Amino acid sequence: MTNKNVCENSIEFSILGASIVFGSILLISTSNIELNNFEILQKRYTQNFFIRNYGLMSSAVVISLSTVYFFYQSIE
């Protein structure tokens, strides 16, 4: 294993760790928003709330898919 491979692997693992942390923060924030504000919201705001929530959840899914991709690349 050359120094270049070590550097590339460390960069990939740092990106992997950062995306895992970011995705978990997004998931925690979406669950907190849903638990705290769901009963407080009026009926006219529910649609916008769910659109925002699904946006955060989809970004967390994209981040987790990118972590799987980086992990697969580092195994090869």
- Give residue 66's region: left, alpha or beta (phi > 0; psi -120 to 50): alpha
pLDDT at 73: 76
Domain positions in the chain are 3-75
pLDDT at 11: 73
Dump pLDDT digits (tens) for 2-14: 556 666 677 777 7
From CA 19, how far away is CA 6, in angstroms rounded? 20
Report yes or no on whether pTM surpasses 0.75.
no
Cβ contact 16:70 at 8 Å: yes
Dump pLDDT digits (tens) for 19-35: 777 777 776 666 655 55
